[in-house]
Amino acid sequence: MSLLARYPFAMSVGVIGPTRGFLGDGMAQTLDREDGESFELDLGRSATYAAWGCASCALYDYLYYVRIAPRVWPTYAAGVFSRSNVFKAVALDALVLMPLVYFPALYLYKDAVLAGKPAHDALRRYEAEAVVQNGVGLGFWLPINFFMFALVKPELRVPFTSAASLGYAGILSWVSEALCLSPVDRRLARRSTRAAQ
């Protein structure tokens, strides 16, 4: 904690972000395997998501949660808790940054950088999946971000959101897998689920 307090940017970008990316991808890999399939961690894939965690911590979490939001909309204004500032910080994150910055960047990273697909294909895929991805993102992040902006000190927001994002990595993996299924595959998956019950 003392290192985080003294070197918030270096700790966020050099330790917390890569750890979050690596662990989140490791969780996603375990969720992605078929039943009964043995698990072997793809270290190369996890390293690429550690790099993603580093970049998203620097350019999104640290920049907005630690630097911009506390200056523009401080939780306490003139020593008094400001609900309206918390609401504004959450609203900008949920309604602007997540749908217009975070998700497009994630799709570009996954499809264009890692898979080598054209950038316009990545953005088209995001456009097709945006309603579902953002709906799930809002459902998960709205309560967490209200809590964070209201109660978590700015210097602790990156570790807080990083811990929460590990849970979100599992949800995002599940949603992304469901979005990849064709309508026929979805019907078959629902039938097999019902038959198993």
26 Rama class: left (phi>0) / alpha (psi -120 to 50) / beta: alpha
Indicate whether 1 pLDDT > 50: yes
Q: What is residue 196's predicted lDDT score, i.e. its pLDDT? A: 36
Query: What is the Cα–Cα distance from 87 to 83, expressed in whole angstroms?
Result: 6
The domain spans of the chain are 2-168
Do residues 24 and 165 make contact, with C-beta atoms less than 8 angstroms apart?
A: yes
pLDDT band (50, 70, 90) for residue 110: confident
Q: What is residue 180's predicted lDDT score, i.e. its pLDDT? A: 58
pLDDT tens, 62-98? 999 999 999 999 999 999 999 999 999 999 999 999 9
